[in-house]
Structures are given as C-alpha cells and as structure tokens.
Structure 1
C-alpha cells in the first residue's frame, strides 16, 4: 500500500529527506533575502519618482512573464549548472511582488500623516522611520509573503540543474514511477508554502494591530 511505502521511505531515508528539506529551505531563504535587498529599495525609490516607478514596475512585471524554467536553461549557457543559476532565477521571480507591494505601501501612506509629522518638526529621516516605514510595512510583508511562496514552489525546478532540494524526490518519483516519492515531495513543498504563508499572515496581522 502507498502509506506503507511512504512509511518505509521515512524509516530508511529520513536523514536524506531532512537534507532535501534543508537544501530547499536554504535556497529559498537565500533567494528571498537577496530579493528583499533589491526589491525593497527599488520600491521605495519608485514611489518617489512616478516616471521611474512606471519603468521599474513594467520591467518587474515583464520578469514574471518569463517562466522560471526558461530562465534556468538560459543561465546554464552562461554560468553552468548548480546552485548559482537556480538562485538567480528564484531572485528574478521574487523581486516583482516585493517591489510592487513596497511601492504601493509607500504610496498608500496618508498625506495627512506626513503633514502632521512635518508639523511636529520631524526631519525627512524621522518621517521615514516613524511614519512611512511603519505604515508601509504590512504592504512590504505582503509582497515578501507572495514572493516566498512562489520561490518555495519554484525551487523544485532547481533539481533540473543539480541544486538539490525537495524537487529531487518529485523528479525521481516521476522517473521511477514511484507515487510515494511524488507524494512525499509534493506534499512537503505544499506544507512549507502553507506554513510560510500562515506565519507571515500572522506577522502582518500583528504589525497592523
């Protein structure tokens, strides 16, 4: 039975399974970190310059049209296989939602709040720290949540180019026609995505309260 095969896999390969999970999470966390370092500053710059905002937003949306697998195979031609091309492809996938939501977050800061801050004698730096960032923060986190869920899901493709992760189970299952491996890999990715989404939803809710 399928459940018996799944149980047997965990009995015999639990350490290997954990290594796949660590590889998957490590790649995803590194990708979201780089995406935040690029997307958040660009989002902040975009909200201050409307023309630049339109150009950056269109460029980021164009990145979302390109399938991750196509980016992976394109990068192989330049930097080979392994972790690096997978990381670059995931970063390109993660930047757009972070950039767009950061831009929207700063644009949604009420003008009256800014004027009130100026009336209290706040400098531009103090306005940014005490007014703009706190009010834009939930939007930024929403962008991070969307990006991270997409990254975790798409990181399964990293197996194609030797970057490891839970995709190894999925593609091995496809190759060997083993439903147990397909189920373990697929459910694991889904659980990770759901757990991240719930955690960030909780953080966003707390930041609003």
Structure 2
C-alpha cells in the first residue's frame, strides 16, 4: 500500500479532494433545506407525517435508479450526484430535526411563551438548544450516508473515491480497494471530528461558556 501511495499519491489526492467537494457541498445544501422544511412543518403533525412519508418513498429508491432518472435532466457528473445525495439526506435530516424539536417538553415551551417570547425566540433560545443533540445525531448519520453513497457517483462520472474503488474492483486490485476504503473511513472520522468541534463551540455560545450538565 505504501508503494502504491508513493507512486500514485497525486491520483489518490485528486480523488479525495473530489470526494470532499461533493460531500461538503451536499451536506451544506442538505442541512439548509432540511432546516427550512423543518421550520415550515414543525407545528403540524399532519403535514410533518406527509412530508416524511414522501421523503421515505424517495429514500427507498436505489441510488443507481435515482441517478438514471436524473441523468436526462442534469447530465453526467458531480452535479447529478449532489442532487441525488441532497434528496436522500432530506429523509435523514428532516426526520431527525423534527423528532428533536418534538421531544422538547411542551411545558417548557408554554413557559417560554408565558414569559413573552415570540415564536422565533422560543425556537432559537429554547427548542433549538434542547434539540441540538438529536439534530447532531441525524447529521452524523447523513455524513456517513453521504460519504458512502457518493462513491457510487463515480459510475456517472462524478469522480471521488468511488473511482478508486470501482477501478480496483474492475481490475481486481486489492490495494486500490483498500486505499479507497481507508480514505473513506478517514473522511468519516475527520468530518465527525469537525462536526463535534462545531457543536462544542455552538454549545459554548448558547450556554455562555458553561459546560452542559
């Protein structure tokens, strides 16, 4: 493996950077859309259930089939891969976000409203901080899912670590398969470490630098 890295480090680095670009863009778009959807549906159980059912149906479609459906519309390459990944992530994130918000004690929300807080203030100061752990858990699942499914994007010319993995399988090259797998796992670990650091900083701001009980 070391010999392969020394000889083809540029190729591995290029594939890794392509994967990071796809995953990073996907996660940013996914989280923004999921949060917007959650804010719209969070006060209606009926609408929330309907939206989650739609997301569930889409999530059940095999990734290769969804790629095939979108290719005539968005073409081959990373653009289609990002669209598919964003769509898949909505089920994970919207479900996690809505469940996190719904778990907040209604008495706490009523108390906040009784103190004269607006709906936005209640969300920002009460619901969001209390639901943060659940939201983070769903984002962690989305990270793992995105990094994994993004490898399949190589089949439509999206590049990334999937190009190393599939090339290794096609040529029965164990070293390529191992490098593709190792880099994917390292990417998951690094992404989760960055997320945990970001959450720590958010908690510090929300709680005035005090540790949560």
Q: Say if 1:149 and 1:196, in contact at 8 Å, map to a contact too.
A: no
Mapped pair 1:139 → 2:134: yes
Structure 1 stretches of 4+ moved >6 Å: none
| Distance of 1:63 and 1:198 partners within structure 2 | 29
Mapped pair 1:75 → 2:77: no
| Distance of 1:173 and 1:118 partners within structure 2 | 59
Aligned partner of 2:60 in structure 1 is 65
Aligned partner of 2:152 in structure 1 is 157
Aligned partner of 1:22 in structure 2 is 17
3-state SS of paired residue (1:164): coil
Mapped pair 1:52 → 2:51: no
2:95 to 81, 95, 100: 100
| Distance of 2:72 and 2:150 partners within structure 1 | 19
| Distance of 1:80 and 1:132 partners within structure 2 | 41
1:90 to 85, 91, 98: 85
Mapped pair 1:118 → 2:113: yes
RMSD of aligned residue pairs (Cα, Å): 1.9
Provide Cα deviations, 1:72-106, integer angstroms capped at 9, x if missing partner. Answer: 12211222211111111111111111000111111
Q: Say if 1:43 and 1:101, in contact at 8 Å, map to a contact too.
A: no
Mapped pair 1:183 → 2:161: no
| Distance of 2:180 and 2:81 partners within structure 1 | 18
Mapped pair 1:192 → 2:187: yes
Provide Cα deviations, 1:29-48, integer angstroms capped at 9, x if missing partner. Answer: 11111111111121222221
1:145 positional shift: 1.2
Q: Say if 1:79 and 1:85, in contact at 8 Å, map to a contact too.
A: yes
Aligned length: 204
Provide Cα deviations, 1:119-173, integer angstroms capped at 9, x if missing partner. Answer: 2222222212211111122222211111111000111011111111011111111
TM-score (norm 2): 0.88
Q: Say if 1:153 and 1:193, in contact at 8 Å, map to a contact too.
A: no
Higher mean displacement: 16-25 or 188-197: 188-197
Aligned partner of 2:27 in structure 1 is 32
3-state SS of paired residue (1:147): helix
